[in-house]
Amino acid sequence: EAGVVQSPRYKIIEKKQPVAFWCNPISGHNTLYWYLQNLGQGPELLIRYENEEAVDDSQLPKDRFSAERLKGVDSTLKIQPAELGDSAVYLCASSPSTTEEAFFGQGTRLTVV
C-alpha cells in the first residue's frame, strides 16, 4: 500500500513569492492533516480535514496561508506571500478516522531567501 505522498520534496523561493505544496493521502483515509515542523521541534498542526471539510484550522495563519481538499482526497497548502520565517518542513498526514493513528508523508522542506 502506498504511503502519504507529498511534492515537491524541496522548494527554495524568494520572500514575497507564492508557493504551493501538494499531498495525496493513503487511499481510504478520510482525515488529512497539514503540520509545520521547525528545526529541533515537534510538528505543529496547521489544519485538519474530515473529508472535504476543514474541521480545525485555528492554527492556520489565514492572512497568508490557505488550504483546500477538493473531493475529499488530495490537498494543497498555499502560502502567499512567503516570509523568511516560513522556512520549515511542511508535513502532510492522514488517518482512517480522527481517533486512529496518523501516518506522515516525507514532508516538503521550504527555504525562503
Partner 1 sequence: QKEVEQDPGPLSVPEGAIVSLNCTYSNSAFQYFMWYRQYSRKGPELLMYTYSSGNKEDGRFTAQVDKSSKYISLFIRDSQPSDSATYLCAMSALDSSYKLIFGSGTRLLVRP
Residues that bind partner 1 (CB under 8 A): 4, 6, 33, 40-45, 48, 56, 91, 98-99, 101-107, 109
If the CB atoms of residues 55 and 113 are measured against partner 1, the closer one turns out to be 55
If the CB atoms of residues 17 and 98 are measured against partner 1, the closer one turns out to be 98
Q: What is the Cα–Cα distance from 99 to 105, expressed in whole angstroms?
A: 19
Min CB(6)–partner 1 separation in Å = 8
If the CB atoms of residues 43 and 88 are measured against partner 1, the closer one turns out to be 43
Min CB(105)–partner 1 separation in Å = 5
Q: Which amino acid is at 40?
A: G
Q: Which amino acid is at 10?
A: Y
- What would you report as the CA-atom Rg of the chain, rounded to the nearest whole angstrom? 13
Q: Which amino acid is at 84?
A: L
Min CB(98)–partner 1 separation in Å = 4
CB neighbour burial string for 28-65, b if at least 16 within 10 angstroms, e if fewer: ebbbbbbbbbeeeeebebbbbbeeeebeebeebeeeeb
If the CB atoms of residues 27 and 97 are measured against partner 1, the closer one turns out to be 97
Min CB(47)–partner 1 separation in Å = 11
